[in-house]
Chains A and B, each alone.
Chain A
Amino acid sequence: MNQIPALVRVFAYLSILTVGGGMAAFPEMKILTVEVHKWLTFPQLIHLYSVGQMAPGPNMMMVLVIGQWAGGMLGALAVLIAFFGPTALLTFVVARLWKKIEKWPWRTSIQQGLAPVSIGLLLAGCFTMARGAITGVETAAIAVGVLLILQRYKVNPALLVVGSAVLGMFSFMPK
């Protein structure tokens, strides 16, 4: 069955949920791609998101893999356009308006009001993911370790992700 219309619908919808960051869309991405359309499993979704953090550029390029699996190269392209198109257009239009309403006092109110909500959405996405990714003491230790190292030292986060891959390979290999 041709999945492309469904892919476009789902990812165009997810696109407008990415307020504050891609993670904000993660809870609904899980419901729609894993539970409703069954394009991939929850562990696969977690893996793709995490691997995507190692790639350069925008950190949600992993979405195209879901399109690739469900609809080949055309599927990947459709997902990219659906996921990045609507917000690109919105930003383009709103930014031009935004400059015009510089004096409007509600502008600051909107920005101040959206900040806690967008951070909350990121955190909600993080918890959804943690439910699948943090499976025991070892994985919890890696997550906390990464957080502490980033707070204390100026390290490139991508290096920590690579390091955790190596650590994982030694720790989680079935005996």
Chain B
Amino acid sequence: MSDTAARLARQRDADSATASAEVSIGQIFLEFLIIGAISFGGVVPYLRGSLVTKQHWIDDKEFVQMLSISQSLPGLNATNMAILVGDKLRGALGSIAAIIGICLPGGVLMYTVGMFYRIHGDHDFVTAALKGVAAAAVGLILFTVMGLSKKSLAGNFDFVFMALTVVAVNRLHQSVPRTLVVVGLLAILFHRPNKKQKENATL
């Protein structure tokens, strides 16, 4: 009986291996196109729902790891995730299919908005509505910033580095790359590996 169970387990492993090998470029494109079309109000939950829950292309742990890489590197979470998942499934072509898919619907929509806004942007009711929208967007970014702070800031010194960055850009009018390099290096040095981690790494 344990023999049957082992065989079943092996069979299941083989199935899941072939399942992830069988994802075609077209499937990747289509799935990301759907995410790109329905992800109103932020891409991340839709990415998880589709890639982890619905398609089982990646598991939850991988998802979190990929998201943390996406967050650390330049680029938007949405497009970086498309690159990472596409690469995992089908290499470079998978990445290209995924990023085009996720950008296409929003791109077409914004292109249309751009034409409309150029013609009707100075109407009183449009200006009035946009004033409300812009104020809401400020609240939205603040919410994102607070969420990220809660999740990834460790200790009071991180708040000092955050404040330094804001002051450098907004008050001292330093360029973003210079701020990133100077404050970034300081923060990385502050978080340098301690002895124990170094020993663990060499073991």
Contacts and interface: CB of A to CB of B under 8 A. Distances in A.
A2 interface: no
Interface stretch (B6-14, B18-26, B48-56, B186-194): B186-194
Is the contact region of chain A dominated by helix, strand, or loop, or is it mixed?
Answer: helix
Interface of A: 15-25, 27-28, 44, 46-62, 64-65, 68-69, 76, 80, 84, 86-88, 90-92, 94-96, 98, 103-106, 108-130, 132-135, 138-140, 142-147, 150-151, 156-161, 163-174
Given A47-B117, A92-B95, A124-B165, A57 B193 contact: no
Given A18-B76, A122-B145, A165-B130, A133 B191 contact: no
B74 A87 contact: yes
B197 to A, nearest CB: 4
Contact of B137 (A112, A151, A161): A161
Interface of B: 35-43, 68-80, 83-84, 87, 92, 95, 99, 102-107, 109-111, 113-115, 117-118, 121, 124-125, 127-146, 148-149, 152-154, 158-159, 161-166, 169-170, 175-177, 179-180, 183-193, 197-198, 200-201
A87 B184 contact: no
B193 A91 contact: no
18 contacts: A47-B133, A50-B134, A54-B133, A55-B40, A56-B38, A57-B102, A64-B107, A95-B83, A103-B201, A104-B201, A113-B188, A116-B162, A117-B187, A121-B169, A123-B166, A142-B139, A147-B140, A164-B135
A124 B133 contact: no
A126 B142 contact: yes
Contact of A125 (B40, B72, B141): B141
A167 B133 CA distance: 9
A50 B76 contact: no
A147 B129 CA distance: 19
B94 to A, nearest CB: 11
B133 A50 contact: yes
- Those 3 A-B pairs whose CB atoms lie nearest each other, nearest first: A168-B132, A120-B165, A57-B106
Nearest to A142: B135
B29 to A, nearest CB: 14
A84 B184 contact: no
Given A92-B87, A144-B139, A57 B43 contact: yes
A130 B138 contact: yes
Contacts of B95: 88, 92
A121 to B, nearest CB: 6
Contacts of B148: 20, 115, 118-119, 122
